[in-house]
Amino acid sequence: MKRKLMAAIGVAAMAAGAVACGSDGDSGNDNAGGGGGGGGDKPEAITVWIMTGSAPDAWLDELNTAFEAEHGVEVNVEIQEWNGIQEKITTALSEDGTVDVLEIGNTQTVGFATTGGLADLGDLADQPWNATMLESAQVDGALYSVPMYGANRAVIYDKAIWAEAGAEVPTTREEWIEALETIEANTDAQPIYLPGQSWYVAGGFMADEGGAFAVKEGEEWAGALNTPQAQAGMEFYQQLQEFSTAPKDTDEATPQQSVDVVPNEKIASWIGLGWEAGGAIAAIEEKGGTADFGYFPIPGKTADEPGHVFLGGSNLAVAERAGSKEYATKWLELATSQEWAQKYVDAMGGGVIPNRTDVTASPEAGSFAEAMVQAAEVGYLPPLTTGWANVETDPNPIKSYMTKVLNGDDYAEAAEAADAEITDRINRE
């Protein structure tokens, strides 16, 4: 998986900060690290890899204390950085006893599972998991990871500019366009900052129409941009992008909208993740300004349902070659139980989407988290196949197609060319 996607997934839980629980190195004990017990022996310790920023210290400490008291097995938590994690996990899963439980980005499960690196967790399949998150944890009907948390984008807006314009927070696409027109007519602000290649956003509009980037045809996948549904979604994206002066040939990270654009220009609204909102606030305050942002879910076609959003997040898995799959599974089961999943969401301040339907998030009123959670039920995922990583590799054909369409090229020609490239890439191993 590319770094950009992993960043979008992994740092959504930005409020947690870096975790520093357990040991970050070797303990010097033969039965520590990856469990070391092997077979049916009880290990002295298991090793859990958690990504930086994904879990609060206090939650991990309390959870591991409870686990150790119940099972007499120590838990060594090793904090991992997203940068380079794909290669590190690939290596670890090919070795005996390196790691027992590991956090992985939700679109990574299929790749690691199909290479035999992850243990089958079928005994946990009957838990009340979030249905959309569960899709990313399964491969051909078998469960190879379980959901940990989810996160998605929302609209971030400058309250002062919207008040100056007399614009109202929208609940439908039509009201959204009306609000942007009002801002354009009554202020000198850019109504919305929307780069031409924010393809996760465009994918949500396509999903609103019943479309997708690619669909499965028999045993293979095929690009699906040259369809009425994808075209309708892209047309709405184009309608929004006409209110923006953002470049048509870059994405939200070039330049980084949260710290390079929003703090330096008069931007009335933009679409981003929670960590981006936090970054923009910090950058504005560093310049001596004051940020007063409001947040709302990306509007849908009707007020009955918000627009679809890419549902990022993480899963928890057990390594097939873990030192102790038995106790790794016991830890994972405890960590994702109703009791501890609820404690996790509470510890995160409601800033993540719960992994289970019997867990509730109660984010602060008016917060980004509140807007994010409102859209959780209409999350979408890209095609869950190992070949999807090939599609994301630069030059990403979806990005190129978007720029062509926004520049006025023939839609069918641009989409057909992109579909051919998507089909070729997605079916590679």
Q: Does 173 share its domain with 253?
A: yes
Using the 3D structure, point to which of 329, 346, 368 is the last residue of a domain. 368
For the chain, give the mean pLDDT. Answer: 89
Total domain count, the chain: 2
Q: Does 255 share its domain with 395?
A: yes
Q: Does 125 share its domain with 183?
A: no
What is the average pLDDT across 309-317?
A: 94
Q: Does 113 share its domain with 214?
A: no
Q: Tell me the CA distances in angstroms from 134 to 5, 123, 281, one per residue in order.
A: 19, 14, 33
Q: Is the pLDDT assigned to residue 5 strictly greater than 50?
A: no
Q: Residue 11's pLDDT is what?
A: 35
DSSP-derived secondary structure for 197-251: T-HHHHHHHHHHTT--SEEEETTEEEE--SSHHHHHHHHHHHHHHTT--S-TTS-
Q: Assign residue 191 a region (left: φ > 0; alpha: ψ between -120 and 50; beta: otherwise).
A: alpha
Q: Residue 93's pLDDT is what?
A: 96
Q: Residue 37's pLDDT is what?
A: 40
Among 74-78, 89-93, 272-276, which stretch is predicted with the lowest mean pLDDT? 272-276
**Beta strand 309-310 pairing with 142-143:** unpaired
Q: Does 52 share its domain with 24?
A: yes
If DSSP codes are grouped into helix, strand and coil, which group holds residue 107?
Answer: coil
Q: Does 145 share its domain with 272?
A: no
> For the segment 115-144, what is each residue's pLDDT rounded down to a tens digit?
899 999 999 999 999 988 999 999 889 999
> For the segment 134-188, what is each residue's pLDDT rounded down to a tens digit?
999 998 899 999 999 999 999 999 999 999 999 999 999 999 999 999 999 999 9
374 occurs within a structural domain: no
Q: Residue 36's pLDDT is what?
A: 40
> For the segment 405-427, what is each residue's pLDDT rounded down to a tens digit?
999 999 999 999 999 999 999 99
Q: Does 15 share its domain with 89?
A: yes
- pLDDT-derived band at 34 (thresholds 50, 70, 90) equals very low
What is the average pLDDT across 32-44?
A: 58
- Classify each residue of 277-289 as buried b or exposed e, where b means 16 or more C-beta atoms within 10 Å of its C-beta: bbbbbebbeeeee
What is the average pLDDT across 325-346?
A: 97
Task: Tell which residue, 358, 355, 372, has the closest CA to residue 310.
Answer: 372
CB distance 153 to 271 below 8 Å:
yes
Strand partners, 312: 151
203 occurs within a structural domain: yes
375 occurs within a structural domain: no
Q: Does 344 share its domain with 402?
A: no
133 occurs within a structural domain: yes
Which letter does DSSP use for residue 258 in this model?
I
Domain CATH code at residue 248: 3.40.190.10
Q: Does 244 share its domain with 317?
A: no
> For the segment 185-219, what is each residue's pLDDT rounded down to a tens digit?
999 999 999 999 999 999 999 999 999 999 999 99
What is the average pLDDT across 10-25?
A: 33
Q: Does 297 share its domain with 178?
A: yes
- Which range marks the domain in which residue 85 is found? 3-151+311-368
373 occurs within a structural domain: no
Q: Does 171 share its domain with 239?
A: yes
Q: Does 238 share its domain with 333?
A: no
Q: Residue 317's pLDDT is what?
A: 98
161 occurs within a structural domain: yes
Q: Residue 40's pLDDT is what?
A: 58
Q: Is the pLDDT assigned to residue 429 strictly greater than 80?
A: no
User: Taking the model in full, what pTM does it have?
Assistant: 0.80
Measure the CA–CA gap between 238 and 329, rounded to whole angstroms: 47
